Each structure stands twice: as structure tokens, then as C-alpha cells.
């Protein structure tokens, strides 16, 4: 089977104001695997189409999230580094 090049693999999330559902079209094997697993575990995600290279899924729009990047101050970053070092030393 012919595999798409990395730059040919795309994922498109369609959100329409008049619809309660989102459509997720993807050619990414990794994302297809994740979404197939979500379909297997629940009825919230559903495969609505597929071809040789891609799959299209449907899910409620409320499951699509956009989050702001976490901003960590240099002081908090230093504290987190110390905690990570302590946890690493405990596991040795």
C-alpha cells in the first residue's frame, strides 16, 4: 500500500455553528489509531467515512478543546526543577 509523505498527511477539524457535532478528517496514522481507540471505548466518537489514506470521525463539538499555553514564571520553573530532581533521586 502506498503511504503518504509526512507533508501530505493533514488533519482538518470542521466546526459549524449550526451543528452540534464536529468532523475530524485525518490522514495521520497516529491520530487514526488514537481516534479508533476512542471509538472502540465509547459511542461518543464515530467513524463516518474512510478511504485508503484517511478516516473521518464525528463527535460532539464540546469534546474539541483549544487551550492557552501554560505560562510558568522562572521562579516556579526553578521550583518544578527541584521537585523533579528530588523525585528522580527518590526512585534510584
Total of domains in the chain: 1
Domain-embedded: residue 79 = no
Confidence (pLDDT) at 35: 97
Least confident of 32-36, 37-41, 79-83: 79-83
Task: Give the mean model confidence (pLDDT) for residues 70-76.
Answer: 90
pLDDT exceeding 90 applies to what percent of the chain?
78
49 contacts 38 by C-beta, under 8 angstroms: no
What integer pLDDT is reported at residue 4 of this predicted model? 86
Q: What average pLDDT does range 56-83 have in this prediction?
A: 93
- Domain residues for the domain of 11 are 1-66
The pLDDT, as a whole number, for residue 92 is 66
Asked if the structure places residue 73 within a domain, the reply is no
Asked if residue 39 is part of any domain, the answer here is yes
Q: How far apart are CA 60 and CA 44, in angstroms?
A: 7
Are the CB atoms for 53 and 27 separated by under 8 Å?
yes
90 inside domain:
no
The mean pLDDT value of the chain amounts to 92
* Residue 38 belongs to some domain of the structure: yes
Do residues 4 and 32 touch, judged by C-beta distance below 8 A? no
Residue at 51 is within a domain? yes
Q: Which three cell numbers stand for residue 74?
A: 522562572
Amino acid at each position: 500500500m502506498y503511504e503518504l509523505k509526512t507533508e501530505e498527511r493533514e488533519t482538518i477539524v470542521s466546526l459549524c455553528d449550526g451543528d452540534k457535532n464536529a468532523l475530524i478528517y485525518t490522514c495521520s496514522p497516529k491520530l487514526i489509531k488514537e481516534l479508533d481507540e476512542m471509538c472502540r471505548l465509547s459511542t461518543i466518537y464515530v467513524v463516518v467515512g474512510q478511504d485508503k489514506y484517511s478516516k473521518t470521525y464525528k463527535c460532539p463539538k464540546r469534546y474539541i478543546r483549544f487551550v492557552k499555553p501554560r505560562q510558568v514564571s522562572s521562579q516556579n520553573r526553578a521550583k518544578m526543577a527541584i521537585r523533579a530532581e528530588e523525585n528522580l533521586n527518590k526512585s534510584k
